[in-house]
């Protein structure tokens, strides 16, 4: 019976570096990405008419009408286009329009 108990300890000792490595990845990579993704989804859900956004392509536009899956955005005085919400990079904060 002592041999089996020693084997169980050896298996746990052998797996400990992998468990430690997973915990490091979780706290340094996975958890921050999940927080960032959640904050981005909340920002997109909270977009309203008149908000300024930057698209993934770098276009600065104004939200004309938020829809369920798309946003109608105004690029200039004459151009209104539909943009998939997945392509919104960030919201431009007031006072940071020229950045």
Residues 41 and 71 in one domain: no
Residue 54 lies in a domain: yes
Residues 54-97: tens digit of each pLDDT: 999 999 999 999 999 999 999 999 999 999 999 999 999 876 55
Residues 40 and 70 in one domain: no
Alpha-carbon distance 86 to 41, whole Å?
9
Residues 58 and 85 in one domain: yes
Residues 62-71: tens digit of each pLDDT: 999 999 999 9
Alpha-carbon distance 34 to 41, whole Å?
11
Residues 4-33: tens digit of each pLDDT: 555 666 888 889 999 999 999 999 999 999
pTM: 0.68
Residues 6 and 28 in one domain: yes
Residues 37 and 17 in one domain: yes
Structural domain of 82: 48-91
């Amino acid at each position: 019976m002592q041999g089996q108990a020693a084997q169980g300890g050896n298996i746990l000792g052998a797996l400990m570096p992998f468990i430690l490595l997973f915990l490091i990845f979780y706290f340094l990579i996975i958890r921050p990405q999940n927080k960032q993704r959640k904050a981005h989804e909340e920002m997109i859900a909270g977009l309203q008419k008149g908000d300024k956004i930057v698209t993934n392509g770098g276009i600065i536009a104004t939200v004309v009408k938020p829809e369920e899956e798309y946003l109608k955005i105004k690029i200039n005085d004459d151009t209104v286009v539909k943009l998939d919400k997945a392509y919104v990079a960030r919201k431009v904060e007031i006072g940071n329009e020229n950045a």
